[in-house]
Amino acid sequence: MIKVKQDGSIDMSVLEISDIVDISLLQKFQDNFAIGMNCASVTVDRDGNPITKPSSYTRFCEGYVHGSSIGDSRCANSHNRMGQKAASSGRPFVGPCHAGLIDFAAPVIINNELLGTVLGGQILSDTPKEELYRKIAQEIGVDEAGLVNAVNQITVTDMDNINAAAEVLFIVVNTLVENGYARIKLEVVAKKLSSKFMDIASAFQELAASAQIISQQQQALNNEITQVGKVTEEINDVLKFISQIAMNTKLLGFNASIEAAHAGTAGRGFAVVADEIKILSDKSKETADNILELTAQIKKSVNSTTDHSHETLQTTEQQTAAMEEVSSAVQEIVSLADELNNMMKSVN
């Protein structure tokens, strides 16, 4: 079972050979290997359960040893012992089995984790001694003559060839497993990469949307600032008009004062009014001038704000465009990651 931990690594404790290797391909190689090397072979998982069909089992083992409950139990213990020795060394182990044949075990290891064992053998390195096999037949409770006849049909193979066969089996099977594991890792990385880039793309899309809103708001603010500038200009025009009226009123006040002086005592009351008109005119003009000065400052600030707003708007628009480009690039990477994942699946 392929299980990915929270840190993104593959949980090796539950990984099986069948998760990473095409069993039909392994079976085909195992069958051809057994025929080519004139030996038997089978692949078992980490618990010792067969995951392939036995290849080229001899009549000695299949017809007699496994035909006995005692022999079958001894055979299982022998396989377990050889598998443990192979696993502990990380190399193929070659040695005699309980029934006097030569067997070998090639461990299937990934990241120091034993996934299973390829067992082979059921061969001889020397001419069989009849006395030994009659004794074995008695121990496991099978026909002595039949077992002796079966063992004499087994081809005697040089020990160097047996060791070489075990090494070839170890190298090829572990290469298949390593390639399969690499493919699984690529699938996991591709999925993780795709997921992460999807998150990034989503975040950039949100940022781009936010930047677009900010850009629109900034544009609206620029429009409002422009309107403020226009209103300020209109106020200035009104103030200038008021200032002109104040000047004219002051002239009228001067004229009224002159006329009041000409009128003598009868014009004293009018003279007071004329003086008040001049004072009011002066205050109106002074107020208008102060407001003009303030509006000039407002206009200056508005112009400065407008310039900064335009710069901010341009920057925001550039950021929006940049984020949209990054988002597009991320989407393309996501597509590539998905394509990579599909390629890995097709390889499987």
The per-residue pLDDT for 167 is 92
Q: How many CB atoms lie within 10 A of CB 260?
A: 19
- Sites in the chain below the pLDDT cut of 50: none
**Beta-bridge mates of residue 121:** 40, 103
The per-residue pLDDT for 191 is 73
CA-closest candidate to residue 119, choices 157, 169, 153, 164: 169
Q: Do domains 17-157 and 194-347 have the same CATH topology?
A: no
Q: Which CATH class is domain 17-157?
A: alpha beta
- Do residues 74 and 142 touch, judged by C-beta distance below 8 A? no
Question: Tell me, what DSSP letter sits at residue 265?
Answer: G
CA-closest candidate to residue 79, choices 121, 110, 111, 35: 121
CA-closest candidate to residue 292, choices 344, 225, 246: 246
The per-residue pLDDT for 182 is 82
Listing DSSP states for 288-345 in one string gives HHHHHHHHHHHHHHHHHHHHHHHHHHHHHHHHHHHHHHHHHHHHHHHHHHHHHHHHHH
Question: Can you give the residue ranges of every domain in the chain?
Answer: 17-157, 194-347
pLDDT tens string 87-146? 889 999 999 999 999 999 999 998 888 999 999 999 999 999 999 999 999 999 999 999
The per-residue pLDDT for 145 is 94
Q: Which amino acid is at 120?
A: G
- Do residues 137 and 148 touch, judged by C-beta distance below 8 A? yes
CATH superfamily label, 194-347: Methyl-accepting chemotaxis protein (1.10.287.950)
Q: How far is the C-alpha of 77 from the C-alpha of 66, rounded, in Å?
A: 13
Q: How far is the C-alpha of 290 from the C-alpha of 295, rounded, in Å?
A: 9
CA distances in angstroms from 161 to 41, 107, 164, 200, 272, listed in the order given: 15, 19, 5, 57, 138
The per-residue pLDDT for 125 is 92
